[in-house]
A and B are shown apart, each in its own frame.
Chain A
Amino acid sequence: MKVAIIKYNAGNIYSVVHALKRLGVDPILTDDAAEIHAADKVLFPGQGEASQAMSYLRNHHLDEVIRSLQQPVLGICIGQQLMCRHSEEGDTDCLGIFPIDVKRFRPTRHEDKVPHMGWNSIDVNCKKDEETCDVLFNGLQNNSFVYFVHSFYVPECAFTTALTGYIQPFSAALHKDNFYATQFHPEKSGAVGEQILKNFLAL
């Protein structure tokens, strides 16, 4: 299986590489359109600032590449946010794969610190009209803990597949067609995160 990780100006991509290697997959890190299109699975991870990340993606024509992908794609953390329509971070127009806007956390109590950093639980049975959880969460107990580090969030929407409560409920994960995304870091989320990555690789 060929797995591509999109190379751009957002840090902390090595932990995703390590996590995939632990699952027996040797990913390629690339910004080459042909290589990305040829991959069986594409990961779009990272930590960074939205406007700088988007201008880098546009300058390298990676925005069009990502939007045109047909194979399973997994956005992680800022990857999820960049797959949305717009972000309050730097008032940035994003990729528009998920028609929803990214907001900044506005705490109402002192104990709600921003960034939201640490382990929080995900409700994967939040889709009321469906009996089963999203395929990404197969084999997981509901309300499993995963690791988050972020100051901006995706509100609950029609594409939400997992909800987490912090200040208010927000989208811990999204799914539309071949596009999947998590706000948390599966690559840093212990055995739960490994199961999620396995589920994605098995799509």
Chain B
Amino acid sequence: MLAKRIIPCLDVKDGQTVKGTNFVNLRHAGDPVELGKAYSEQGADELVFLDITASFEGRKTFTEMVTRVAATVNIPFTVGGGIGELKDVERLLNAGADKVSVNSAALRHPELIDEITNHFGSQVCVAAIDARMDEQGHWTCYLNGGRVPTERSLFEWAHEAQERGAGEILFTSMNHDGVKTGFANEALRRLSDTLSIPIIASGGAGAKEHFRDTFLEGHSDAALAASVFHFGEIRIPELKQYLQSEGINVRL
């Protein structure tokens, strides 16, 4: 049976992970390559590296990091952040990334998804969507890391991304992100039940139960988190043991 996936996400700036880490026995916790390797050895199913630098020099450093990750890590990894055009995708895939995630640029120019999937296949294209729910319960997509609202509804855009060939949806709820009270399971369930591609839940992980809930109630195919892993609040081997004891199929 296909396993539910656990995905740590690493924010990278100028070649270093941004959020503090609480990894014992790791000499360079700031080095995304070493951290990624540590997570893979702990049982992470995939990794996501997000480039949060804006400068040209930072891009170059990030690409070099991708090359080192590809040489070091033996599980699939996705890279994202600042992908604006096809040649960014080509550069990162040639550096050894398995998948790329596109966010703002795809919202501005949806045909970017068609271009990526026509050139490299659906399996490399993850459509990352940041959305916020308003008081009426409507979910709206945001640009630029959640700073700029758009007119697009989450469900409409996710459907279009699938139709254009995206291989997965990575949905981050801005209402839940950083709050640590669980994932946006109602919206996730609607995405998972209406789309035919895998859905990755993001935003809200604070406890092991939240992962169980997003798999069982949110029908998510994978769950992504950052700080709970980086600060050692949840350890991946224990999380997976717990999920298995709750009857969820995970890779142990």
To the question of whether A and B form a pair in one complex, the answer is yes
**A binding-site residues for B, Cβ under 8 Å:** 11-12, 14-15, 18-19, 21-22, 47-48, 110-111, 113-121, 145, 147, 149, 165-166, 187-191, 193-194
Which residues of the other chain, A, contact B70 by a CB distance below 8 angstroms?
14-15, 18
Q: Which of A121, A147, A149 contacts B75 (CB 8 A)?
A: A147
Does B122 lie within 8 Å of A118, measured CB to CB?
A: no
Which residues of the other chain, A, contact B122 by a CB distance below 8 angstroms?
115
Docked pose: A114 CA to B162 CA in angstroms: 12
Interface size bracket, B side: 20 to 34
Docked pose: A11 CA to B74 CA in angstroms: 17
**B232 part of interface (Cβ distance < 8 Å):** no
**When A47-B121, A115-B123, A117-B167 are in contact, do A194 and B1 touch as well, CB less than 8 Å?**
no
Does A18 lie within 8 Å of B2, measured CB to CB?
A: no
Q: Give me 8 A-to-B residue pairs in the complex whose CB atoms sit less than 8 angstroms apart, sorted by A's number.
A: A47-B123, A111-B219, A117-B123, A117-B167, A119-B5, A120-B3, A121-B1, A147-B76
Which residues of the other chain, A, contact B1 by a CB distance below 8 angstroms?
120-121, 165-166
**When A11-B120, A190-B40 are in contact, do A119 and B251 touch as well, CB less than 8 Å?**
yes
Q: Which of B45, B72, B196 contacts A118 (CB 8 A)?
A: B45
CB distance from A117 to the nearest CB of B (A): 6
The list of the 8 closest CB pairs from A to B, nearest first, reads A145-B251, A119-B3, A119-B251, A149-B123, A188-B76, A120-B2, A18-B71, A14-B96
Determine the main DSSP class of B at the interface with A.
loop
Determine the main DSSP class of A at the interface with B.
mixed
**B193 part of interface (Cβ distance < 8 Å):** yes
Does A12 lie within 8 Å of B197, measured CB to CB?
A: no
Which residue of chain A has its CB nearest to the CB of B123?
A: A149
Q: Which of B2, B98, B222 contacts A166 (CB 8 A)?
A: B2
**B168 part of interface (Cβ distance < 8 Å):** yes
Which residue of chain B has its CB nearest to the CB of A49?
A: B121
Which residues of the other chain, A, contact B196 by a CB distance below 8 angstroms?
110, 113-114
Which residues of the other chain, A, contact B120 by a CB distance below 8 angstroms?
11
